[in-house]
Amino acid sequence: RIVRQHLRLRMEAETRAQLEKQQAEHEIMQLHNEKLQSEITHKTIELANSTMSIIRKNELLSEINTELDRQQKILGSNYPSRYFEKLRALINDNISGDHDWKIFEELFDQAHADFFKRLKLAYPDLTQSDLKLCAYLKLNLSSKEIAQLLNISFRGVETRRYRLRKRLSLISDANLVEFIMQF
């Protein structure tokens, strides 16, 4: 009877230890998941800030370009046109800079788990501009905001959306933004 009691106590102790070990592993896994979730949230916030910064920069450069046009009309031949063209080229180069896109792409991939790789694997015929449009749609940006980022007109964004829809072989009543968000 004493031996059975010791055996039962040992079994209970082992069961209790195993249960505690499982609970500890569960807590570690839960903490790990919370950490990953907070990293994703942080990356998403960083991505949103980066995107808004690019939008503001492009809006400012567009306003400077408009002001440059206005001043060129006012000054006429008093200010040589080659200087205006040099300034305009500098502004246009910075509006559609690839450096901004590289930073954005890196942050976007970190926040959205290799979105571009998965998209390229599923649809290999997508162009770089299609991938940019998909990223901006995934962020749920409006066509106006996308136009600012891509330095094209609102109508140009609508045309690109139509072409993207065709490349993705979506039916006409399927929502492109929902499709991209779920991808």
pLDDT tens by residue, 22-44:
999 999 999 999 998 888 888 87
Report pLDDT for 159.
94
- pTM of this structure: 0.62
Total length of the chain: 183
How far, CA to CA in Å, does 183 sit from each of 24, 64, 111, 178?
A: 35, 38, 14, 9
Per-residue pLDDT averaged across 63-70, rounded?
89
Report pLDDT for 134.
92
